[in-house]
């Protein structure tokens, strides 16, 4: 697709790192699948994956974690709802 940031580049499938913060908690997720602009490097993450990351961060925050860095692995089973 056409990049919305620079409006010149085309995006290509690749991976990116995502930084998520929720209150005191920081999650760095590496190797998240995304569409990356070949010119400006803007990354576009699939809505389903973004939601997955959000729920993962929420769950980790509930466990009292303050900082976590991990490699993304797509979960077929939704992370949310498993623990109420």
Rule CB under 5 A: which residues touch Zn ion? 3, 5-6, 9, 37, 39-40, 42
Closest to Zn ion by CB, 12 vs 30, is 12
Q: For residue 24, what are its two tokens?
A: 């005191």
Closest to Zn ion by CB, 39 vs 79, is 39
State the minimum distance, in angstroms, from the CB of residue 4 to Zn ion: 8
Report the candidate in 33, 82, 17, 24 with the shortest Cα–Cα distance to residue 56. Answer: 82
State the minimum distance, in angstroms, from the CB of residue 7 to Zn ion: 7
């Amino acid at each position: 697709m056409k990049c919305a940031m620079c409006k010149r580049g085309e995006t290509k499938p690749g991976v990116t790192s995502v930084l998520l913060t929720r209150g005191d908690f920081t999650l760095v997720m590496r190797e998240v699948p995304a569409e990356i602009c070949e010119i400006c490097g803007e990354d576009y993450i699939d809505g389903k994956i973004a939601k997955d990351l959000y729920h993962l961060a929420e769950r980790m925050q509930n466990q009292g974690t303050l900082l976590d860095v991990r490699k993304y692995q797509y979960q077929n089973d939704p992370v949310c709802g498993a623990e109420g």
